[in-house]
Chains A and B, each alone.
Chain A
Amino acid sequence: MTDSLHLWLIPILPLIGTAINGFFGKRFSRQTVAAVALTFCGLAFAMALYVTARISSLELPHTELLAHWIRSGQFMVNFDFYLDQLTLVMLLVVTGVGLLIHIYSVGYMWEEGGFYRFFSYLNLFMFFMLTLVLAGNYLQMFIGWEGVGLASYLLIGFWFTKDSAASAGKKAFIVNRIGDFGFLIALFLMIKHLGSLNFTDVFSAVAKYPVETAGFGLLTSIGLLLMVGAAGKSAQVPLYVWLPDAMEGPTPVSALIHAATMVTAGVYMVARSHAIFNHAPNALTVVAVVGTLTALFAATIGVAQTDIKKVLAYSTVSQLGYMFMACGVAAYSAGIFHLMTHAFFKGLLFLAAGSVIHAVGGEQDMRKMGGLRQYIPVTFATMATATLAIAGIPGFAGFFSKDEILLHAYEANPIYWVLGVFTAFLTSFYMFRLLFLTFFGEYRGAGAEGSHGGGHGHGEQDHGHGMPHESPMIMLVPLMILAMLSVIGGWVWFGGVFEHFMAPVFGGGEGAATREAVSKTLEFTLMGVSTIAAFLGWFLALFLYVRNPALPQEIASALGGFYEAVVHKYYVDEFYTTLFVKPLVDGSTRILWHGVDQGVIDAAVNDTADGARHLSDAARQMQSGNLRSYAGWVAAGGALVLAYMVWMGVR
């Protein structure tokens, strides 16, 4: 092929960065490590831009074959790369937001140990994520899928000496494994029944199947299993529990992996597999229901959290629920649109939260913040922008994408819409609550009483200092860029630019058709309702946390048990612990460990050894070193032989 874009370079570049920093980073200075990491990440971004520039001259989808991989009879899997509009959007989001977060991390992690390790992992994540989005077949996608899980595990447990971080990493990995199991089974079904894993082949094979409106056919099974995988990776009910715990990792990691990119892999996968889901409406309904429930469920938990990162984590889960809701009503481009804007504003929210945490010396509890507006104005401005964006205030990115989803949800089933709007209200409420608690009122932190909070190191950096201070420029510039994107990122909605751009991927601009069918009045009514919901949330938060700071406590105690349940995240973790973890651990301990391993396997080995030892111990007595005792044994042996012969003779 003459016009090869060398797509393989895009994932490989960060991998080179990983290798350099991983192998030699220990001897490098921090500057060198940062330079290496940023160079290779930047090169990947440059490649993505180059691809974007070339895209108009290409015939999409564009595939590039790198090498053959598995060949077994008719079945073949290659290392190939697949480029279409969907890939391009993901590519730009991953490399662009990724690069910004890399830059930010240089400032954020500067005083941390394991600086080179951090950037090595971060580049590794970029490699796998880019492999995932560029993959031309499901198996290659699966490599990326597992790889980002690995990178996520490594980075959540970055402070591995902290017990909670180490176990949060394990939890993320194990919960993801449940989802991956579903994904893997879906791949097996594809191999068996569709004979290929190539996107092109699979989708054309699927097109020959009738639409499974009822029953539980092949495509429904594949769709549901893919959904299980997506639910694991994208933290949907019931597998969302790992994401809030994943906040144990450094904040840039939460921004990059657990907000902007990796967790959206599930949405990407569902959108990529839209051909399958379109032929399995039942699976699609499950996607929509799970998404809606997750959005609502996580939003209610987010309302009562006090840890700034936990609020954002539940908010992420909730927003991912929106994306799944969009995919579930076959509005894939709306889902991807929200994915993109969410990457901007949620990435920004996490980075700004990191900047806040940095400013107050490692404190994450919002109850100990407050009044930070005057100390860290840039962080405040950017975070406020992101809050406006996620709350869906008109003009900001989140408004357009969320409205697009809600419109399509209304088309499919008004119930989704009602729950979606209610979630939007909650989102707006808890985000403004976060903003008000953090930046307004009086500073309630350690520095406020004049005591230097040196020993209060609750999380990340423990450089004890008095009053909060603004972060360095290297952290603020990414914040500003993302803030800009959080504003203008949604403007591609005007005139349906984004939808038209995505139309070739998701088939014939069905979204545009919907738009024609929906009357302008309805569209604007829906828009108005969700805008009102957003403002309601804003005013409620303003009322409760700025005007009457004592009131939330009263409401909380008035609600009693329900409030307790929400604070404890509906006891889902406890429930899982009782239902799955404890029986498993107990079973493993009692039956497998004490019973089988110690009782059977160890016992067999040890008893054999013991028996041999006792036998030898007895036999050892014969070798006393006493000559006459040897002679005695010889005589006894002779006597025995003689006796035997006599006995044989007598018989």
Chain B
Amino acid sequence: MVPTSYYLILSGILFSCGVIGFLIKRNIITIFMSIELMLNGVNLSFVAFAAQWHHLSGQVFVFFVMVVAAAEAAVGLAIIIAVFRTRETLNVDQVNLLKL
């Protein structure tokens, strides 16, 4: 069996990739994907612990996170489309005003 620490390290790497992507990317869609990556990194650690301790709450948590992430994706993508329609750019550095 694969030791839990492997999963955790992978989870950390995924989360870090998400953070770094979030910080260095300018495209909103990429940033959005980085957020998903972070969420999934966390999800991985949840399920890893759930498997380790034979406890379901970790897996239940993951379902919750996935539901919230799905909702977030729906809202977030809608916002991104709205932003693109109004500004014709997805560069976050140019989207620094709430008002047009």
Which chain A residues have a beta carbon within 8 Å of chain B's beta carbons?
625-628, 631-632, 635
19 contacts between A and B (CB under 8 A): A625-B96, A626-B93, A626-B96, A627-B92, A627-B93, A627-B95, A627-B96, A628-B22, A628-B23, A628-B24, A628-B26, A628-B92, A628-B93, A631-B22, A631-B23, A632-B23, A635-B19, A635-B22, A635-B23
- In the complex the two chains form, what is the Cα distance from A63 to B31 in whole Å? 97
Q: A626-B96, A628-B23 are in contact. List 16 more A-B contacts (CB 8 A).
A: A625-B96, A626-B93, A627-B92, A627-B93, A627-B95, A627-B96, A628-B22, A628-B24, A628-B26, A628-B92, A628-B93, A631-B22, A631-B23, A635-B19, A635-B22, A635-B23
Q: Is the interface of B mostly helix, strand, loop or mixed?
A: helix
| Chain A neighbourhood of B26, CB < 8 A | 628
- In the complex the two chains form, what is the Cα distance from A467 to B95 in whole Å? 90
A-B contact count (CB 8 A): 19
| Chain B neighbourhood of A625, CB < 8 A | 96
| Chain A neighbourhood of B95, CB < 8 A | 627
Min CB–CB distance B77 → chain A (angstroms): 17
- In the complex the two chains form, what is the Cα distance from A350 to B24 in whole Å? 94
- Please tell me the size bucket of the interface on B: under 10
0/1 string, B8-44, CB within 8 A of A gives 1? 0000000000010011101000000000000000000
- In the complex the two chains form, what is the Cα distance from A635 to B95 in whole Å? 20
| Chain A neighbourhood of B93, CB < 8 A | 626-628
Min CB–CB distance B58 → chain A (angstroms): 19
- In the complex the two chains form, what is the Cα distance from A632 to B20 in whole Å? 9
0/1 string, B39-79, CB within 8 A of A gives 1? 00000000000000000000000000000000000000000
Min CB–CB distance A646 → chain B (angstroms): 13
Min CB–CB distance B25 → chain A (angstroms): 8
Closest A residue to B25 by CB, please name it. Answer: A628
| Chain A neighbourhood of B22, CB < 8 A | 628, 631, 635
Closest B residue to A624 by CB, please name it. Answer: B96
- In the complex the two chains form, what is the Cα distance from A626 to B94 in whole Å? 9
Closest A residue to B34 by CB, please name it. Answer: A631
Closest B residue to A632 by CB, please name it. Answer: B23
| Chain B neighbourhood of A631, CB < 8 A | 22-23
Min CB–CB distance B9 → chain A (angstroms): 15
Min CB–CB distance B34 → chain A (angstroms): 10
Min CB–CB distance A12 → chain B (angstroms): 69
Min CB–CB distance A508 → chain B (angstroms): 99
| Chain A neighbourhood of B19, CB < 8 A | 635
| Chain B neighbourhood of A626, CB < 8 A | 93, 96
Interface centre among B23, B24, B96 (most CB of A within 10 A): B23
| Chain A neighbourhood of B92, CB < 8 A | 627-628
- In the complex the two chains form, what is the Cα distance from A635 to B96 in whole Å? 19
Min CB–CB distance B97 → chain A (angstroms): 8
Min CB–CB distance B87 → chain A (angstroms): 13
Min CB–CB distance B79 → chain A (angstroms): 13
| Chain B neighbourhood of A632, CB < 8 A | 23
Min CB–CB distance B78 → chain A (angstroms): 18
Min CB–CB distance A641 → chain B (angstroms): 14
Min CB–CB distance B93 → chain A (angstroms): 6
- In the complex the two chains form, what is the Cα distance from A635 to B24 in whole Å? 12
- In the complex the two chains form, what is the Cα distance from A627 to B95 in whole Å? 8
Min CB–CB distance B5 → chain A (angstroms): 16
Closest A residue to B97 by CB, please name it. Answer: A625
- In the complex the two chains form, what is the Cα distance from A296 to B96 in whole Å? 90
Min CB–CB distance B24 → chain A (angstroms): 8
Closest B residue to A627 by CB, please name it. Answer: B92
- In the complex the two chains form, what is the Cα distance from A626 to B23 in whole Å? 11
- In the complex the two chains form, what is the Cα distance from A626 to B24 in whole Å? 12
| Chain B neighbourhood of A627, CB < 8 A | 92-93, 95-96
Min CB–CB distance A635 → chain B (angstroms): 6
Interface centre among A625, A628, A635 (most CB of B within 10 A): A628
Min CB–CB distance B45 → chain A (angstroms): 13
Closest A residue to B95 by CB, please name it. Answer: A627
Min CB–CB distance B20 → chain A (angstroms): 9
Min CB–CB distance A65 → chain B (angstroms): 76
Closest B residue to A625 by CB, please name it. Answer: B96
- In the complex the two chains form, what is the Cα distance from A631 to B28 in whole Å? 13
- In the complex the two chains form, what is the Cα distance from A628 to B24 in whole Å? 8
Min CB–CB distance B4 → chain A (angstroms): 17
Interface centre among B19, B26, B95 (most CB of A within 10 A): B19
- In the complex the two chains form, what is the Cα distance from A627 to B98 in whole Å? 12
Min CB–CB distance B89 → chain A (angstroms): 13
Min CB–CB distance A528 → chain B (angstroms): 107
- In the complex the two chains form, what is the Cα distance from A627 to B96 in whole Å? 7
| Chain A neighbourhood of B96, CB < 8 A | 625-627
| Chain A neighbourhood of B23, CB < 8 A | 628, 631-632, 635
- In the complex the two chains form, what is the Cα distance from A623 to B23 in whole Å? 16
Min CB–CB distance B11 → chain A (angstroms): 14
Min CB–CB distance A480 → chain B (angstroms): 88
